[in-house]
Amino acid sequence: MKPVLEPRHDLTPMEIDAVEDRLYEHNRAATGRDDGEGLGFIVRDEGGKTVGITAGYTWAGISEIKQMWVDEAFRGRGYGRALLDAMITEARRRGVLRIWVASYDFQAPGMYERAGFKRMAEFEGWPEGRVNVILCKTLT
């Protein structure tokens, strides 16, 4: 049977995880590194509601912060920096040498820079009128 391309713009988290697993298997085979682990932290309020979260991974001596979010009502109180510091600390404990993140100019590149991240690239017009910033920190 010939494969058929079909549009699917509503992939489930399970389907996306399956793609991530296949990519990891390919990357593992190509590099010989099989130390990939998820990395994440949550901030909850007194009632248990999630008010801040960050997620990423460590693998092959690197780490990526893929998502970070703090509820608007809780911003400016240090929760974002606490999440970032926790990610860096755990990445360092796992032997990571470099950690990177992408942040739009209207998000939090300044927070990352204050934490020692350096701008590695800027993509102007991503989206139009904005800049997508790639930042990296070398851990010692």
Could you tell me which of 128, 140, 127 has the C-alpha nearest to residue 99? 140
- CATH code for the domain in which residue 125 is found: 3.40.630.30
Q: Is residue 26 part of a domain?
A: no
Q: Is residue 3 part of a domain?
A: no
Please write the tens of the pLDDT for every residue from 63-75. 999 999 999 999 9
Q: Is residue 105 part of a domain?
A: yes
Please write the tens of the pLDDT for every residue from 73-112. 999 999 999 999 999 999 999 999 999 999 999 999 999 9
pLDDT at residue number 23: 94
Is 0.95 surpassed by the pTM of this model? no
- Residue 140 pLDDT level (bands cut at 50, 70, 90): confident
Domain span at residue 43? 36-138
- What does pLDDT average to over the chain? 97
Count: domains in the chain: 1
